[in-house]
C-alpha cells in the first residue's frame, strides 16, 4: 500500500502527498479542492498524462475501511493546475512566477532566490502569497 503524508496548513487545508522516486506526487482531489475546481476527472484529462497516475489507498469511514484508487499528479501538473486557476491565491502565485521568476530566468539563465537584488522583494512576495 502507498504511504500518504498529509500536509496541513491553516489557510490551505490538507494536501496528501506521496514520495515516488524521490519526488512529491500530490493527490489531485486535494489540489482541486484547494483551487475550488469541482470536476477532478476533467482536470486529470487535461494534464500531461505521463505524470498522472493512480494509486490504491485504504480509506477509513464510518462504514469501515475500503480500498479505492485515487489520482496523483507530479509537480509539473501541480503547477499546471495552479496556472489554470482563477482563485485569487493562485493568481498571486501566477503573478510571482510570470512577473519575477520567468523574467529573471530569461535575463540571467537562472532564478536565484538569494540574489541581493531580489532577495528582499522575493521574500516579501512569498510571504504575501503564503500568509495574506
CB atoms within 10 A of CB 22: 5
- Kindly report the average pLDDT of the chain as a whole number: 85
Please give the class, per CATH, of domain 1-82.
alpha beta
Q: Which of 10-19, 38-47, 65-74 has the lowest mean pLDDT?
A: 10-19
Contact 69, 86 (CB under 8 A): no
> What pLDDT does 116 receive?
55
- Chain segment 62-103, per-residue pLDDT in tens: 788 888 899 999 999 999 999 999 888 888 889 989 998 899
Residues forming CATH 3.10.260 domain(s) in the chain: 1-82
For 20, 31, 65, 78, 107, the CA distances from 89, given in Å and listed in that order, are 27, 13, 35, 14, 27
Amino acid at each position: 500500500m502507498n504511504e500518504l503524508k498529509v500536509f496541513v496548513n491553516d489557510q490551505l487545508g490538507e494536501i496528501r502527498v506521496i514520495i515516488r522516486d524521490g519526488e512529491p506526487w500530490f493527490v489531485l482531489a486535494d489540489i482541486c479542492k484547494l483551487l475550488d475546481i469541482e470536476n477532478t476527472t476533467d482536470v486529470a484529462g487535461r494534464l500531461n498524462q505521463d505524470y498522472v497516475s493512480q494509486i490504491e489507498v485504504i480509506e477509513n469511514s464510518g462504514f469501515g475501511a475500503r480500498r479505492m484508487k485515487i489520482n496523483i499528479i507530479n509537480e509539473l501538473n501541480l503547477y499546471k493546475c495552479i496556472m489554470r486557476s482563477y482563485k485569487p491565491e493562485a493568481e498571486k502565485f501566477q503573478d510571482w512566477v510570470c512577473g519575477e521568476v520567468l523574467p529573471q530566468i530569461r535575463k540571467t539563465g537562472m532564478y536565484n532566490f538569494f540574489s541581493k537584488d531580489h532577495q528582499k522583494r522575493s521574500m516579501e512576495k512569498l510571504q504575501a502569497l503564503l500568509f495574506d
